[in-house]
A and B are shown apart, each in its own frame.
Chain A
Amino acid sequence: MANLSVKIGALSLKNPVMTASGTFGYGLEFADFMPLDGIGGIIVKGTTLKPREGNDYPRMAETASGMLNCVGLQNKGVDYFCEHIYPQIKDIDTNMIVNVSGSSPEDYAACAAKIDALEQIPAIELNISCPNVKDGGMAFGVTCAGASSVVRAVRQAYHKTLIVKLSPNVTDITEIARAVEAEGADSVSLINTLMGMAIDIEKRKKVLSIGTGGLSGPAVKPVALRMVNQVAKAVKIPVIGLGGISSAKDAIEFLMAGATAIEIGTANFLDPAISIKVRDGIDQWLDSHDIQDVHEIIGVI
């Protein structure tokens, strides 16, 4: 058994496998299928200062090797999270990380400050890359100035590990990564979904209620891998890789590309125990190659 533990800033992960926000609920939904404490972290769904109803149905379209979604950050707000959900998840023996979104830097900061007070939440992932909301979300993540403004505000209000989730819908993702690093982010995670569209030819209409949605699944993996590799070379902070990972082999590719940890997203929908299988698969691969420590493969490309 190789050493699988990694560090993201001050955060220790027992292994580099986490689940991506919006694909794993609050973890509890998957407790029947796998031991939640077997993975390095669970990033719970996007949380905002005020409750959000999200976008209208239909919010999903199946695509070749993937899917589009335009859920639009439906959640009951940070106060509900702190009062009702946090007590249910705080004792799960892994890193329970909250994905935070907002519509202004002040919003983000206020939401982050409330989560800062929760003892058992050691980190947040700042979502400046949601393509499915009009106000905020990706609007901040596509310019260096926008990304910086949010991270600056949150950094003052939040004192634990701060991960910033980046959008791939930009000209040069390394510029954004450098900008958030300069503002004090402890890590960047990438990629959020790629903006796409689906059309119903019989109805001559766009399938999704807001017209566009974010593409995820194996279809985006090569794009994600390339961006992770570029960003890992551009910043000094640890990179968390995600985008279409559905096997241990995929995960190892991201680690080699420069990711210190990875997140599994859409694959959770196909196999609710996939994250634990990926952890086991990484372990077996390292063993079969006589590698003692996962760090030996991180960033070798």
Chain B
Amino acid sequence: MNEKSHIIAAIVEHKPGVLYGVANMFRRRNFNIESISVGRTEQSDLARMTITVNGDERTVEQVTKQLNKLIDVIKVSRLDPASIVSREMALVKISAPGAKARSDIINYADIFRARVVDISSESLMVEITGNPDKIDAFIDLMKPFGVKEVARTGITALSRGTKSVRIEE
């Protein structure tokens, strides 16, 4: 099967229980969520879910339809990877006991356009934004120093240009 990663944007009612309904549907139908990020939209009663799913064409088609079937899901769009901006953000805490390690990490972070956001005698925290591959690569690079903790947001994405996944009021 031709499995790959797909990004789905869903505009949903911004109220309690909706995320449960969506997550429940994925579990029940035996679909896997690779990542999900949820937040309020420019309309205060709506939330936007950006869901990354792995699967073949037929599976993703079913995911889209099953999402659409949920009453609290208002609009579902599959985002075309060729015409979107997608980003993930991660906070990475790395062991950095000595000055050498510390300066190495800061140099690497610069190359990845990441920022050091916290520092202590034993560790550094780096904020990095980009596509998931870039974040994976950075984390791999940090492994020899000792990665203590990672928090990733999951992908969030918007289509380029004027096209939008939006509910007209």
A and B: real partners?
Answer: no
